[in-house]
Amino acid sequence: MNVVIFGPPGAGKGTQSAKLVKEFNLFQLSTGDLLRDEVNKKNCIRI
């Protein structure tokens, strides 16, 4: 199952994702978390 949740910051995407992960034993991938990790590793250029 692939689920994509879109919305503005603070809309509850993370809250709903956590519930779906728990209920259906899914894997959560957050593009925001991935980008922040890469910036912190100095692999990306901050604009």
Query: Average per-residue pLDDT in the chain?
Result: 87
DSSP 3-22: ------TTSSHHHHHHHHHH
pLDDT 10s digits, 11-29? 999 999 999 999 999 999 8
**Is pLDDT larger for residue 11 or for residue 46?**
11
Q: What's the pLDDT score for residue 33?
A: 87
Q: How far apart are CA 1 and CA 10, in angstroms?
A: 25
